[in-house]
């Protein structure tokens, strides 16, 4: 079993319900167990400014699925929850599931980059990840989570009191 960190985000169709549904769908994946889930955070959108704020979280899984098998499963969950892939990047969406870290692997596939290629720029990923990660986590590419957090201020984020 490998430890995998998944970023979850939604800003359409009742985002808290979307994230809870995604967590249940992750728990239902074969050969996979949800080990823990971070707090939920509200964040400003990255893309067009005329969209609702996002609700984000990170989940840690244990899985024997291969990276691309897991990616396919995540995209099926997104689709089942109404995700439409459009040409516009970073636009509103019902659900976004990203593989942030996959064990000790560095993955460079056309469909999958791990560690996630924008991880270091996204407070809405780093702070929930830090809730779940071991102290002083070193990513597979050599970067230290503490350093990434220090360079990415907790701005535009609001931690919710909601529970899974």
Catalytic residue among 14, 28, 85, 93: 93
Q: Which residues contact 105 (CB under 8 A, 6 or more apart)?
A: 2, 67, 114, 140
Buried b (16+ CB within 10 A) or exposed e, 109-129: eeebebbbeebbebbbbbbbb
153: exposed, middle or buried (C-beta count within 10 Å: 0-12, 13-18, 19+)?
A: exposed
Q: Which residues contact 142 (CB under 8 A, 6 or more apart)?
A: none
Question: Is residue 28 annotated as part of the catalytic site, yes or no?
Answer: no
Catalytic residue among 14, 20, 53, 96: 96
Catalytic residue among 20, 98, 111, 146: 98
Catalytic residue among 3, 28, 50, 83: 83
Question: Is residue 89 annotated as part of the catalytic site, yes or no?
Answer: no
How far is the C-alpha of 43 from the C-alpha of 7, rounded, in Å? 13
Place of tokens 């230290």: 144
Question: Is residue 83 annotated as part of the catalytic site, yes or no?
Answer: yes
Question: Is residue 111 annotated as part of the catalytic site, yes or no?
Answer: no
Report CA Rg, the chain: 15
Place of tokens 């400014």: 49
Catalytic residue list: 83, 93, 96, 98
């Amino acid at each position: 079993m490998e430890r995998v960190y998944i970023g979850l985000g939604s800003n359409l169709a009742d985002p808290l319900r979307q994230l809870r549904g995604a967590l249940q769908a992750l728990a239902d994946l074969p050969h996979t167990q949800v080990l823990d889930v971070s707090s939920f955070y509200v964040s400003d959108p990255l893309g067009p400014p005329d969209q609702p704020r996002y609700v984000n979280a990170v989940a840690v899984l244990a899985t024997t699925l291969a990276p691309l098998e897991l990616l396919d499963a995540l995209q099926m969950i997104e689709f089942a929850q109404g995700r439409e892939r459009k040409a516009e990047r970073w636009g509103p969406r019902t659900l976004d599931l990203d593989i942030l870290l996959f064990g000790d692997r560095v993955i460079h596939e056309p469909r999958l980059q791990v560690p996630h290629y924008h991880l270091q720029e996204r407070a809405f990923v780093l702070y929930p990840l830090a809730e779940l990660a071991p102290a002083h986590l070193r990513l597979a590419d050599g970067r230290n989570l503490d350093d990434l957090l220090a360079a990415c201020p907790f701005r535009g984020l609001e931690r919710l009191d909601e529970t899974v």
